[in-house]
Chain A
Amino acid sequence: MTSAAASKRPRLITLSVALGLLLAGSIIFAVTFGPADIAPLEVWQTIAHHLGLIADSPVGRLRNAIIWELRLPRVLVAAGVGAGLALCGAVMQALTRNPLADPYLLGLSSGASLGAVAFLLAGAALYMPIGAFLGAAGAMLLTLLVTRLLGGATPSRAILAGIAISSLAAAATSFLIFWSATGDSYREILSWLMGSLSGSVWSDAGIVIVATLFVGLPVLLSGRSLDAFVFGDAAAATLGVDVARLRWLLLAATALLTGVLVSIGGAIGFVGLIVPHIVRLVTGSRHRLLLPISMLVGASFMIWTDTAARSLFAPRELPVGIITALIGAPIFLLVLLRYRRAT
């Protein structure tokens, strides 16, 4: 009986293993892309050597450095950013009961950019993630407030509020850059603003992965409570969920994670929107399944969009945000149209 009931949906274990393998394969193959020709086996040997799995690697010192110092950190940053953004998107969609919610569309990313740039230009580059978190949290509060002022939370109002707050934060960011940045730092900041993972090093990978797991694990455990939100706050409360506490905790967690991700990778749009929607087609809306699977899919998705960003027009590099927007904007329209038809 039990197995018959569960048979309609894929199980968490099966899906996680399959997508975990896809992620591992994506990491290895993405590293082979680039000006120097590198084989998947060499990537594996290098990783295994550094992890202490094999004593002597047949890979030469130069190639070892290209794989381990140059390409792998960037691929891991991409994986962490993709997983984190997908998680933030899925959580925000559930909490605000808004299918269009996404850290980028609701203004969090622009707020985080503003906070990060402000800290950077004030000479506190080391504390950029904190500035980004403060910016993301501030933008989120403003968006929620403006949504309420517009007459209550409907998805289109929230998006309008998000656009307004985004534009405001972007204008403030531009002003700050115009006022204080010069020459090289100007170009660098601009490329980072559009969303770019170029120049990622191991410390970036460490920060992104630790933040994603640190925020992600408790959020994954609250998956069932998020399910309870599906019929609104009152329904969640009568199912035993402490609605106010959970909402603020999770919104703070998404602001924190968005802040960290933006401080490393810039404002990369639409990942948090697209990934959960695609995953939902397979897993349905149960968050116990949706959240971890979205993270895994988001990680692989980001690895390949970033690989495309640095390979398509090599040696020139596109900001990865342009690619995610190219894929994401049409999907955003589809979701919007479907929502319009349903109501």
Chain B
Amino acid sequence: MSAGLDITDVSATAGGESILNGVTMRALPGSLTGLIGPNGAGKSTLLRATLGLVPTTSGTITFVGNDLPAMPRRNRARVAAFVEQIGANEAQLTAREVVMLGRIPFQSVWQAEPSPEDEQIVTEAIAAVDMSGFEHRQYNTMSGGEQQRLQIARALAQQPRLLLLDEPTNHLDVHAQLTALNLLRTRAQSGATVLLALHDLNLAAAFCDALVVLHQGRVVAQGAPQDVLTPALLRTVYNVDATLVSHPTSGRPMIAYNLPA
């Protein structure tokens, strides 16, 4: 039994088309695992299948030995949180009320108001994404970046041991991207298993402890960024010509794209 997320030989189809094809991968507690691959590689489907949101045709998905898609919803919501890409929203909720949604799996039907513990956890989650002081602003008047940070805070309020995120840095400016990823890395370091789909390969290389590369529904590589990211892989998977260099201070791999002359 593993201590983290184990996905074994998982396949999924949508509309008769194969989306995932025998995916086997692992995400360990204490580390930030990046899921990379071009559009349509199956990243979102894999994240959703992990939470039982889309059916799989074969394979197993377990977290700390528990069959995750088969878990009772409420129990799963207390273990795993998901931040997906979210469009415009008309809800008349304050920032704090949005983050408080993360406490739903912990609240009883008969409970009229959030408990002091709920309030405390929500306050901390808002502080963690650097949004204290914005708690009473209306969510629908906020920028895309602010909304994204609140969605992350909402997931943190679930106090998840498994955190899944689909492109959490979309809509964020550079500073906010670094802050968000740094926050997720801190969460991982405090023992959570964090798996996130990322588009930006340099961010993935700079922050993730492990990378899983999806291509046409299959895992084509996984491991430490410096082992996974090679010019050959970038050419096959992304169809780009690139040179790998080392970051001058961290030593992490950086991708320099070679543009056609």
Contact = CB atoms under 8 A, between A and B. Distances in A.
Given A8-B136, A224-B107, A224-B109, A285 B92 contact: yes
A285 B107 contact: no
Interface residues of B, number: 44
A225 B97 CA distance: 14
B84 A234 contact: yes
A227 B119 contact: no
Given A231-B89, A235-B84, A286-B93, A241 B48 contact: no
Contact of A2 (B101, B110, B116): B116
Given A12-B112, A231-B86, A225 B91 contact: no
Contact of A240 (B73, B116, B122): B73
A227 B103 CA distance: 11
Interface in A222-242: 222, 224-225, 227-228, 230-232, 234-235, 237-242
Contacts of B90: 99, 339, 342-343
Contacts of A285: 91-93, 97
Contacts of B91: 230-231, 285
B97 A6 contact: no
B17 interface: no
B179 interface: no
Given A6-B113, A224-B107, A342-B88, A239 B94 contact: no
A288 B53 contact: no
Interface residues of A, number: 34
A171 interface: no
B142 to A, nearest CB: 13
A206 interface: no
Contact residues of A: prevailing secondary structure: helix
A221 interface: yes
Contacts of B215: none
Contacts of A230: 89, 91, 93, 98, 101
Interface in B175-189: none
Contacts of B107: 224
Interface of B: 48, 51-53, 73-78, 80-82, 84, 86, 88-94, 96-98, 101-102, 104-105, 107, 109-110, 112-113, 116, 119-120, 122-123, 135-136, 140, 151, 158
| Shortest Cβ-Cβ A-B pairs, 3 listed | A240-B77, A240-B74, A240-B105
